[in-house]
Chains A and B, each alone.
Chain A
């Protein structure tokens, strides 16, 4: 719920900000219908959101405000300054509660009865003035100890009394209140000052020097026995570390800064290319060093542009492929260790592996035999080769040969990696992994050919001592050294040889630094290994930039200058990167959903459940195997449950029934998980894990199984995981498994708030419907005219442009959708509204925040439609 809440907070704050301005405008020109409906719509949306999230206190306040605005809009009440002040007070009250919510994660306790009463009084036509001051005071009292909110409320208190007399000398008093509010109030008090980047850079440089000097001092004190310095030096060392951390923090910036221009870019691209594109950005608050940020900005933009241009299809193509017309580009950033992971994904056409193969052949990058032996992922990696573009046409946007190779090179330059995941017809995702900061890294100091070098720890997987007693030996295949490491053949490069240094040490006793670059693992032979040290990476002089083996240089604790090796450069120089990376499949294969790629071996888990026929499920689909004690399994409404990782996990017996008295002491459970939901399948016995080709016969012979296959000479039933997930899904979304029988029903959702779309679409989708969402009625009508077919339409009522009522009337007037079930989704589910909705042609009227009711209604409407 945390993400939801964060989204909500952002959306609400934006909404509140817009409201302040709009309300002030409304006060100046009470007859401005456009402003009035804008205000009404925003309040309405905010209220709906509160309701959906169960924030009852705010919902009540917003509702009271909305009632007043509703009267204004209907023209049954005149807009008065007193009324507007009250609504502003309501907003301040909401702001206070939002601040409390932000701070504590829960709605602060308190009563807004007075405020609501005043609002209701206005709504019912009474005069506002007497109620205003207490209402504002109440807001102030209700506000949690957050200073900005209290401040904001005070401003209103100050402004309210002069407002009380009849609205003769209108706005000037209220305007400053709102202004002060907009600039100083709301969220995040500006406890910040502006500092130029140069100052920060200068600080960072000084700290870097300080770290180096500290290192030198520590080295000296280690060598000498002068203990008088030891203690103060320790302190100095700690303070230096803290200082370093503090200064690093000042350089951290949210990655959202690098994304700021993307929505506009995507919009323009959409117009230019005639595509409908929705850009979703997650994790925009993830912070990284501004230097890194600057360096990834362009590659990121390039990738997004690529997704929009090459990745996503035109609306026609998408409709033909059964996808929503609007393509989606998803940016997702998150921290992982000392790295930041950025995903750039689209739900477009995916990489055409066959076309890549053809192109690879045409360009002579690999032979047909090599290609045939390559796993698909390896083939896809060819897009990172220079001059490789699969775009059939060079468009104005991309495809001019400045391709993914440049992106890859840029990423590698800053010590990052890039990988691609793609599924034809389903989309492409690039995963970029970059260090948080380039300034200070931990490095392993090694020696080769009499010189010392630093290897960033990021790339180092392990250290192996070779030669000597009982240690693994280096072996040679012709001239190439290899190491057999845990049954894997590890390619090796000799650092001294690579750097054209004379290797004085003898190879019989050396160290292998096992290094990973992207998917490739290789070993670097060095003569000696010293220590690890925190080093300050300094760029090499421009005249050395062409030496790609080094990513920088630094000064060690003893004052000597040392070169920092770039594992990427070494991999490139030795051709390691060009080899097929088996490690890649090992690491990622497990997470890929196995479909009907019967030509590939798949790891399967064999188990027994119910009858004697062995059953199999691709191992990659299983999150964990658990042994649950019988006593821990509880029964809720006839369904077994277990408390698992702090949550209740539904258990589904494959045998169809579960009897606690008959159950074994320990119940083996296969745990499937999706996001933070999990379900467990109860089986009798786990038999084995084997690698087998999947050849399935007679699909769908009985529910829950895809069919049978022969594994290890035995007929084995293949589990239909999706079916079993739906068995447990009933608990999550209140959707019955019956809903998913037969062809999936197609639902069109018309909703202007992106936040609600994100809530409603997955909820309906999870219940087994195929959902298409559009942002307004006009787009829905365009879909209709384009010949799209749906089984039901769910529409919001309050929308910019054509509202839900008008939309319903238009649909009912005629056209292919005339008889479709039409469900209104609205925050205002009062009897009068419902009546209005029915009059306009809606089949049913459901409160926006009631998922269960919506699904019920959908099912009923669809059943009725089928029956009728």
Chain B
């Protein structure tokens, strides 16, 4: 997959995961990690078509607040979703570096999830995934498929379908 080749900088957590789980594909899922306002998130790599640097984004008037605008990906128009806004996190500060685009496809349409930073590609065993804590914010519970421990941090597994269900 294209995404993997562009980000094949090796995954330090890879051999860790393989150490204690059977190498069967079904037993683990591979995620691209991203940071949204310091929160670590994971998006299944199989859902990702492209990862882009900072893009020129055209605002769309009257669109829902979560829609940051649209951008041009090799001649296709991609609707950009601001993950900060979508997750109810504070907007990016002025002067902060522009957002990265993680392009996903849903029903033939391309969407870009705007994140502050893109991290690495991590295979994480399904067995390690914990259910959403019952106390988790209702909106987050809606878009999260579960929680992984990655080192010292917690990773929210983002449900792309749900993230895109806006309006």
Binding site for B on A (CB under 8 A): 208-209, 212-213, 449, 451, 499-501, 538, 540-544, 546-547, 549-550, 553-555, 559-563
Chain A residues positioned under 8 Å from B69 (CB to CB): 561
Q: What is the CA–CA distance of A690 and B166 in the complex, to the nearest angstrom?
A: 60
Chain A residues positioned under 8 Å from B56 (CB to CB): 559-560
Q: Smallest CB–CB gap between A212 and chain B, Å?
A: 6
* Contact assessment for A451 and B61 in the assembled complex, using a CB-CB cutoff below 8 Å: yes
* Contact assessment for A559 and B72 in the assembled complex, using a CB-CB cutoff below 8 Å: yes
Q: How many residues from B make CB contacts under 8 Å with A?
A: 22
Q: What is the CA–CA distance of A562 and B72 in the complex, to the nearest angstrom?
A: 10
Q: What is the CA–CA distance of A542 and B59 in the complex, to the nearest angstrom?
A: 16
Q: Look across to chain B and name the residue whose beta carbon is closest to the beta carbon of A496.
A: B61
Q: What is the CA–CA distance of A212 and B77 in the complex, to the nearest angstrom?
A: 12
Given contacts A538-B77, A553-B70, contact A543 B167 (CB under 8 A): yes
* Contact assessment for A500 and B62 in the assembled complex, using a CB-CB cutoff below 8 Å: yes
Q: What is the CA–CA distance of A560 and B63 in the complex, to the nearest angstrom?
A: 18
Which residue of A451, A541, A554, A560 is within 8 Å of B109 (Cβ)? A541
Q: Smallest CB–CB gap between A449 and chain B, Å?
A: 8
Given contacts A543-B167, A555-B77, contact A451 B59 (CB under 8 A): yes
Chain B residues positioned under 8 Å from A538 (CB to CB): 77
Chain B residues positioned under 8 Å from A559 (CB to CB): 56, 72
Q: What is the CA–CA distance of A615 and B136 in the complex, to the nearest angstrom?
A: 88
Q: Is B11 an interface residue (CB 8 A)?
A: no
Chain B residues positioned under 8 Å from A212 (CB to CB): 75
For the A-B complex with A451-B58, A543-B63, A543-B167 known, give 14 more contacts whose Cβ atoms are closer than 8 Å.
A499-B61, A500-B62, A541-B70, A542-B107, A544-B67, A546-B167, A547-B62, A547-B63, A549-B61, A550-B60, A555-B77, A559-B72, A560-B58, A563-B60
23 sampled A-B residue pairs with Cβ under 8 A: A208-B75, A209-B75, A449-B61, A451-B61, A499-B62, A500-B62, A538-B77, A542-B109, A543-B67, A543-B79, A543-B167, A544-B60, A544-B63, A544-B67, A546-B167, A547-B62, A549-B62, A555-B75, A559-B56, A561-B71, A561-B72, A562-B58, A563-B61
* Contact assessment for A561 and B64 in the assembled complex, using a CB-CB cutoff below 8 Å: no
Q: Smallest CB–CB gap between A559 and chain B, Å?
A: 5
Q: Is B31 an interface residue (CB 8 A)?
A: no
Binding site for A on B (CB under 8 A): 56, 58-64, 67, 69-72, 75, 77, 79, 107, 109, 111, 164, 166-167
Chain A residues positioned under 8 Å from B64 (CB to CB): 543
Chain A residues positioned under 8 Å from B75 (CB to CB): 208-209, 212-213, 555
Chain B residues positioned under 8 Å from A451 (CB to CB): 58-59, 61
Q: Look across to chain B and name the residue whose beta carbon is closest to the beta carbon of A453.
A: B61
Chain A residues positioned under 8 Å from B63 (CB to CB): 543-544, 547
Q: What is the CA–CA distance of A722 and B75 in the complex, to the nearest angstrom?
A: 61
Among the interface residues B59, B62, B69, B107, which one has the most CB atoms of the partner chain A within 10 A?
B62
Chain A residues positioned under 8 Å from B77 (CB to CB): 538, 541, 553-555, 561
The 10 residue pairs across chains A and B that have the minimum distance between CB atoms? A499-B61, A541-B79, A209-B75, A561-B70, A561-B58, A547-B62, A543-B166, A555-B72, A541-B109, A561-B72
Q: Smallest CB–CB gap between A201 and chain B, Å?
A: 12
Chain A residues positioned under 8 Å from B67 (CB to CB): 543-544
* Contact assessment for A501 and B79 in the assembled complex, using a CB-CB cutoff below 8 Å: no
Among the interface residues B58, B61, B72, which one has the most CB atoms of the partner chain A within 10 A?
B61
